């Protein structure tokens, strides 16, 4: 299960390294996320968010995330 704050992070957090360094997580190409799934996602929050980004893309839910780009408010659990 994910926290709703993760949706805001997907819409605003940038990939910190690699071929797509600097790109917002939800904007990473699905083949790149599939590659990570095969190789193993990074440890910690980044890996968890990359796995969530892949799930959102597979399920066709990217449109749920995109309106959250630039959101800076508080999302309490």
> What are the residue boundaries of the structural domains of the chain, listed by start?
4-67
22 against 66, higher pLDDT:
22
pLDDT digits (tens, 9 = 90+) for 29-55: 999 999 999 999 999 999 999 999 999
Query: Mean of the pLDDT values across residues 65-72?
Result: 85
pTM of the model: 0.88
CB 49 within 8 A of CB 60: no
Task: Name every residue whose Cβ is closer than 8 Å to that of residue 54 and which is 6 or more positions away in sequence.
Answer: 30, 33, 34, 36, 37
Query: Mean of the pLDDT values across residues 21-28?
Result: 97
Residue-averaged pLDDT of the chain:
91
What tokens appear for 14 in the block?
A: 């940038």
């Amino acid at each position: 299960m994910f926290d709703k704050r993760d949706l805001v992070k997907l819409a605003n957090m940038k990939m910190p390294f690699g071929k797509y360094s600097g790109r917002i997580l939800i904007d990473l190409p699905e083949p790149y996320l599939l590659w990570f799934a095969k190789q193993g996602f990074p440890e910690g929050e980044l890996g968890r968010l990359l796995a969530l980004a892949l799930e959102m893309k597979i399920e066709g839910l990217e449109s749920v995330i995109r309106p959250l780009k630039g959101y800076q408010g508080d999302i309490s659990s």
